[in-house]
Chains A and B, each alone.
Chain A
Amino acid sequence: GNSVTQMEGPVTLSEEAFLTINCTYTATGYPSLFWYVQYPGEGLQLLLKATKADDKGSNKGFEATYRKETTSFHLEKGSVQVSDSAVYFCALSISQGGKLIFGQGTELSVKP
């Protein structure tokens, strides 16, 4: 079946540290891959996406590359800020219909 596995949190970093949140997936067919972010008290927001192998999604300094050979879509940011503190969800979609399969989420806490 289709599934997404993320590294467990919480992840605690100091401001300006490098961030990696690992995400691997299992899918039949050719999924699109997503990272969503949920700030405290808010809904999920799309952070970035990639629709085919070797695509790199990027937004707000975050980036992730669709690696088909390792079935991974790791999220990275070179220098995190306190305002990046949130829960990050990796997800995949097999179709354009809008159904998403999520990882369990990784809580990031950035300390000043």
Chain B
Amino acid sequence: GAVVSQHPSWVICKSGTSVKIECRSLDFQATTMFWYRQFPKQSLMLMATSNEGSKATYEQGVEKDKFLINHASLTLSTLTVTSAHPEDSSFYICSARREGAGGNTIYFGEGSWLTVV
């Protein structure tokens, strides 16, 4: 079964409103999670690294004031798209890093489709 869950899977919002996407690690604690977005027929692009208890690290070109990331607990990171516009419509997917003695394992969520109308 899934070890990382995203919610919602699909969301439609009106232009100018904000929408929040959750990413949860279900059976492990994740101090680090990652947020990606994917445009149709294109690669998944890393947006930011979400660090529990501290500020997210954004990739170059990603607006931190538009894509708010909060990693308030060891099992939950949220991505809020503020003042959404149609060009923000995309597939957003998170991953969580599970740390272990044998190394790190990355688990992905199911992804969230955002449509801004």
Contacts and interface: CB of A to CB of B under 8 A. Distances in A.
B25 interface: no
B111 to A, nearest CB: 6
A43 B46 contact: no
A60 interface: no
Contacts of A105: 38, 43-44
Contacts of A36: 108
A17 interface: no
A12 interface: no
B97 A43 contact: no
20 contacts: A4-B43, A42-B110, A44-B95, A44-B108, A45-B108, A46-B105, A96-B104, A97-B32, A97-B97, A98-B95, A98-B106, A99-B34, A100-B44, A100-B95, A101-B43, A101-B46, A102-B45, A103-B43, A104-B41, A105-B43
